[in-house]
Structure 1
Amino acid sequence: MARRSRLLTLAAVLATLLGALGLAVLGQGKAEAHGVAMTPGSRTYLCQLDAITGTGALAPTNPACQNALNESGATALYNWFAVLDSNAGGRGAGYVPDGTLCSAGDRSPYDFSAYNAARSDWPKTHLTSGATMKVQYSNWAAHPGDFRVYLTKPGWSPTSELGWDDLQLIQTVTNPPQQGSAGSNGGHYYWDLALPSGRSGDAVLFIQWVRSDSQENFFSCSDIVFDGGKGEVTGIRGSGGTPEPTPTPTPTDPPHTGSCMAVYTVQNSWNGGFQGSVEVMNHGTEPRNGWAVRWTPGVGTRISSVWNGVLSTGSDGAVTVRNADHNRVIAADASVSFGFTATSTGNDYPVGTIGCVTP
């Protein structure tokens, strides 16, 4: 099947961990890691590929993705990489309840519960039983640990809830290699996976990433079908090709700086405007002295005020927010945040990638 270049763009915009803080002064906190499967694509990853538009709006074409957006909201979809439980500590069966594996047991700071829906129309990756494929797993924040790879047993139906008894462990990988910078478009871990032979029909590939430097774990559900495919993806906008996880950045994409990561949320909105915030994370092992974040606002959006940061606007319409004096330094494995208000015609999320740039 022909490759579709429009599938090359990863999530354009991200959501933050601080949605409940409102207009309060936003201070430092622990920076969490992030990642789900990109090949075969997890439900959250492929749904955001399906939904993202060039205006800063979301418009899924897949009915399962649209339902998930309606039920769990935009924050979860823009935070596609953060299906996490900060206290899982490697625990699975007996700790994560059946029917909630795709939402990290509903213990994530985001509402991923709709991505547990037992339905057969999630986006699918087409594979060949007995073949060897290369798994690619997002490294929005890179940490050591194990990747436990499970596959549903023969006879499992996509219209039944996913439980631990449905799964068999087929691989464990420790500290696989990485390609691309952490916190960048397309950055990922990768390894080879030998798929079981004698399989046909629908299945779910479930991966639990168990960090060795933290109790935090990540959970990823990828819908696949064994039908002789070679990684083609169907059920998303422009489907019929294989999404590539390592696109060439467009000139408007801000560069990323490895240990620095920025995530964006809409705190609340009203007719003609909204309030947002951005969390700037330091995933490095040393304090970060100075930071800056850049993004291109959605079509018809204009930033009107910023607090806990200093705003500048470029001739291309991109905005840059740099640190204020009081929050210049971000401790290791911590974060700071700034807030803003904006006028808007309804496109409240950025166009293109939001990311850290050189201060």
Structure 2
Amino acid sequence: MRLFRFAAVALFAAAAGILALPSGPAQAHGAIQMPGSRTWLCYQDGRNPNTGAIEPKNAACAAAVAQSGTNSLYNWFAVLRSDGAGRTTGFIPDGQLCSGGTGGPYNFSGFNLARTDWPLTHLTSGANVQFKYNNWAKHPGTFSLYITKDGYDPSQPLGWDDLEPTPFDRVTNPASNGGPGTDDGHYYWNGTLPAGKTGQHVVYSVWSRSDSQETFYGCSDVVFDGGNGEVTGIGGGGTTSPSPSIPASPSPSTSVSPSPSTSNPGGGTSACSGMYSVVSAWSGGFQGEIMVHAGTAAVNGWNVSWTFPGDQKIAQVWSGKSTTSGSLVSVTNESWNASVPANGHVTFGFLATGTAAPQVQNLTCTTG
């Protein structure tokens, strides 16, 4: 079923020219999404939900695309080196950390640009968070997160001496949710952000597979200002992202998609809420997803319902069971994702026909 779902999504996307799969030896794909990598957030900034075209609004993202081309965002999950073998210092030259050097299947050199206006994820120093790494393809391996040293200057090219020499977080074979082959499928794990950090920094991520030499690299621009995972600098500068990675936050934040819809807590024994966003769109159809968030108590069973604003119709749902009545859609959990831990979340996705709806109406989550 997972392969079928991946094929269906890829077929829809390829038909509209919104997905370019890598060639050559690359087999796994993924990029950090919390905190969001430059390629992931620039993809969020630049994708046109109605046409699938890459049309960056953020100046740094536009400069990166001008240098590296639109394939760098259609393949935001492929900043990799097939010969990486987990290597870092001495393997990737200074000034090329964010592209993983120049030996990967795609040109990501534009994401090495030393700029102060990349999309930013707002965080709190020393906070406990849930990191999220897309699993477009699943493989065993180790994830290592580094942070820039105090005094980091984002207007200068990033070099190895700018990073603390040891990771502040490292995990092997973390849990996963959803995927593969979707924007919402991801590995996740809890960790603690570095203490004593202020101002703007870069979180540098390295995913080293244990079943091959393939290694993924990524730069995430963050600012330690007391934030809870909000993102600024995308979609014209004022859009914020959800913060599903901040366990202490019981209420949903705004989605990265334009004009997202969020639900109010539902009934049952413990509250939940839903957050809707458009993943991609093409002529005559679109892919969407909804994150189901638990409140301060765990959830055991959930149902999310909403009303489409126009003639949109559900074509397929994964990670949930759907029923429809006219424009009303209801999705209940599968047996394997019925339980949602306190302040945690699960995600389900769908394909729909019709013009992509940037928001839906009467979005409600109930539990039990």
Aligned: 1:241 with 2:236: no
Distance 1:173 1:61, change over 3 A: same
Tell me the equivalent position of 2:226.
Answer: 228
**1:218, 1:253 → 2: CA distance?**
34
For structure 1, the residue ranges without an aligned partner over 5 or more in a row are 1-11, 19-28, 258-294, 297-315, 319-349, 353-359
**1:31, 1:80 → 2: CA distance?**
13
Tell me the equivalent position of 2:115.
Answer: 119
Distance 1:351 1:93, change over 3 A: farther
**1:117, 1:254 → 2: CA distance?**
40
User: Deviation string for 1:20-73 (max 9, x for gaps)?
Assistant: xxxxxxxxx755100111111100000010011111222211000011111100
One-letter amino acid of the structure 1 residue matched with residue 118 of structure 2: W
**1:73, 1:240 → 2: CA distance?**
24
Tell me the equivalent position of 1:322.
Answer: none
Tell me the equivalent position of 1:75.
Answer: 71
Tell me which of 44, 57, 61 is aligned to 2:57.
61
Tell me the equivalent position of 2:33.
Answer: 38
Tell me the equivalent position of 1:178.
Answer: 176
Does the aligned pair in 1 maintain the 2:46–2:235 contact within 8 Å? yes
One-letter amino acid of the structure 2 residue matched with residue 242 of structure 1: S
Tell me the equivalent position of 2:99.
Answer: 103
Q: How many Å apart are 1:130 and its aligned residue?
A: 1.3
Alignment partner of 1:237: what SS? coil
The count of residues paired between Structure 1 and Structure 2 equals 244
Tell me the equivalent position of 1:154.
Answer: 150
Percent sequence identity over matched residues?
50
**1:69, 1:184 → 2: CA distance?**
22
Q: How many Å apart are 1:156 and its aligned residue?
A: 0.7
Tell me the equivalent position of 1:213.
Answer: 211
One-letter amino acid of the structure 2 residue matched with residue 46 of structure 1: L
Q: TM-score, with normalisation over the residues of structure 1?
A: 0.63
Does the aligned pair in 2 maintain the 1:185–1:247 contact within 8 Å? no
User: Deviation string for 1:181-233 (max 9, x for gaps)?
Assistant: 21123000111121122111000000100000000000011000001111110
Alignment partner of 2:69: what SS? helix
**1:129, 1:58 → 2: CA distance?**
33
**1:255, 1:81 → 2: CA distance?**
23
Q: How many Å apart are 1:317 and its aligned residue?
A: 8.7
Q: How many Å apart are 1:165 and its aligned residue?
A: 1.4
**1:253, 1:129 → 2: CA distance?**
43
Q: TM-score, with normalisation over the residues of structure 2?
A: 0.61
Tell me the equivalent position of 1:9.
Answer: none
Tell me which of 49, 58, 67 is aligned to 2:44.
49
For structure 2, the residue ranges without an aligned partner over 5 or more in a row are 1-12, 243-254, 257-274, 278-286, 289-312, 320-350, 359-368
Distance 1:58 1:200, change over 3 A: same
**1:49, 1:197 → 2: CA distance?**
29
One-letter amino acid of the structure 2 residue matched with residue 182 of structure 1: P
Say what the alpha-carbon RMSD is for the aligned residues: 2.7
Tell me the equivalent position of 1:191.
Answer: 189
Distance 1:88 1:31, change over 3 A: closer
**1:38, 1:242 → 2: CA distance?**
11
Does the aligned pair in 1 maintain the 2:22–2:75 contact within 8 Å? no
**1:152, 1:230 → 2: CA distance?**
20
200-209 vs 237-246, which deviates more?
237-246
**1:153, 1:47 → 2: CA distance?**
24
Does the aligned pair in 2 maintain the 1:15–1:76 contact within 8 Å? no
User: Deviation string for 1:131-166 (max 9, x for gaps)?
Assistant: 111110000001000001100010011111111111
Tell me the equivalent position of 1:141.
Answer: 137
Alignment partner of 1:157: what SS? coil
Alignment partner of 2:144: what SS? strand
